[in-house]
Amino acid sequence: RKEVEQDPGPFNVPEGATVAFNCTYSNSASQSFFWYRQDCRKEPKLLMSVYSSGNEDGRFTAQLNRASQYISLLIRDSKLSDSATYLCVVNGGSGNTGKLIFGQGTTLQVKP
Amino acid sequence: ETGVTQSPTHLIKTRGQQVTLRCSSQSGHNTVSWYQQALGQGPQFIFQYYREEENGRGNFPPRFSGLQFPNYSSELNVNALELDDSALYLCASSQESGTVRTDTQYFGPGTRLTVL
């Protein structure tokens, strides 16, 4: 079983749609959670950290469910520029400083 | 831009050769982590350097080695290259202290290595 699992997609949605991505992780000791965005042939860029209480940044909302070891990202009012791969990321768990574990990524394609 | 730089941007090598990739961390960051990203996959942790010492290693063989310099820049060395080493190599910088871990890492543009 992969340590971080995501549906690779692709998700093809029209502009203005709401889309949700989900991710599960296997290490219950993980302490930090993130969503990164990666454009084709570019480096991953931090989109947002994910907190237990849930957090929102403009059109993006991230939520964490520690009991189910589940992370989600909701994008409202999709823009063409949101087309990218979204990477779910967790840290390596207690005692494993600095190791970020990435999911395979979910590809989003927003169409006009 | 994150301020993390990597060189070279692209590299072509043949099997059995050795390669050195370089990374300069963001100003004020003391920690560098290296990742390998194969096509269609998420990045995989190779190792991390903090205060010039290896501080955690992923599931990579010893022919993957690294260094960190006093100015916090870092090198990744790969010996005896194999075809499967073809990938995007990413470095990420962060600010860590003895007791505080930020976990927030900022990535450089990567070096695309092709092994023929």
**Residue pLDDT tens, chain B, 116 long:** 778 999 999 999 999 999 999 999 988 888 999 999 999 999 999 999 988 999 889 999 999 999 999 999 999 999 999 999 999 999 999 887 655 556 688 999 999 999 99
Q: What is the mean pLDDT of residues A3-27?
A: 94
Q: What pLDDT sits at residue B100?
A: 54
Contact B42 A102 (CB under 8 A): yes
Lookup: tokens for B30: 């003391």
Is the model's pLDDT at A97 over the cut of 80?
A: no
Q: How far is A109 from chain B (nearest CA, A)?
A: 16
pLDDT value of position A93: 61
Q: Please give the span between the terminal C-alpha atoms of chain A, in angstroms, as a whole number.
A: 37
Using pLDDT thresholds of 50, 70 and 90, give the confidence band for residue A95.
low
Q: Tens of pLDDT along A37-88?
A: 999 989 999 999 998 878 999 999 999 999 999 999 999 999 999 999 999 9
Interface of B with A (CB under 8 A): 2, 31, 33, 35, 40-45, 48, 50, 55-56, 58, 90, 92, 94, 96, 101, 103-110
* A4-19: average pLDDT: 95
Say whether B43 and A92 touch across the interface (CB within 8 A): no
Token representation of residue B7: 């060189």
Mean pLDDT of chain A: 91
> Sign of the C-alpha dihedral, residues A112, B1, B2, B8?
positive
Q: What is the dihedral of CA B58, B104, A61, A12, to 10 degrees?
A: -50
Quick check: A105 contacting B, CB < 8 Å? yes
Closest in B40, B43, B56 to A97, CB measured: B56
**Residue B84, helix vs strand vs coil:** helix
List the 29-88 stretch of A: residues with Cβ below 8 A of B. Answer: 31-32, 34, 42-46, 49, 87
Q: Phi/psi at B11 (nearest 5 deg)?
A: -155, 135
Over residues A12-33, the mean pLDDT reads 93
Q: Residue A10, preceding bond cis, omega within 30 degrees?
A: yes
Report the distance separating Cα A20 and Cα A67, nearest Å. Answer: 20
Q: Write out the two tokens for A67.
A: 């009991």
CB contact under 8 A, A46 and B110: no
Look at residue A47 in the predicted model and tell me its pLDDT: 95
